[in-house]
Structure 1
């Protein structure tokens, strides 16, 4: 995934309404009306959110008669998860080193106290 695509995807994920829409689509495809139901937004307002999600490649919108059902595009989410995973490994290594350093400081402190009494 290119940096530009990643930026567009993270910008789409930054909004809680869009994340809620994705969570709902994780349960299966839904129409715009179904997606709008839990929100105090107009259909045009929900449609704007859906366009952002479409541009980010996170959803697709089909056509069935007069309905335009939306569905989650899990591949894009997997790409984001893979990108984050690389950094998670780095963070875990750094936290492990920090834990070791803090244990060493604590051991040194305890040895300093125990020697005088």
Structure 2
């Protein structure tokens, strides 16, 4: 964030309007633990790179556990990205993850097809 104070003020104003703020791809790129205390987030999204290998890589599993625990302590919801198997989903449910998204549920579909699936 080039201008953190200005952007955080904007995010707070957006949240006051009733919108929820999500920190995407948490744990990678520009995400930082500092953002958890500065940004008025409602949820964090765990990046798919951690989810992909958490079944076979203990380090990824431990990182997912830590991210979920931090989120819970800070009263944030957790979304896991890249859930592709029942095993992923089961692990995440056991760990207390609130939401999951990925190919296990559906591949990306055009809007019209999505509406048909809802009906």
TM bin (shorter chain): under 0.3
Q: Which has the higher contact order (CA 8 A, sep 6+)?
A: 1
Higher strand share goes to which structure? 2
Higher helix share goes to which structure? 1
Larger Rg: 1
Q: How high is the TM-score relative to the length of structure 1?
A: 0.28
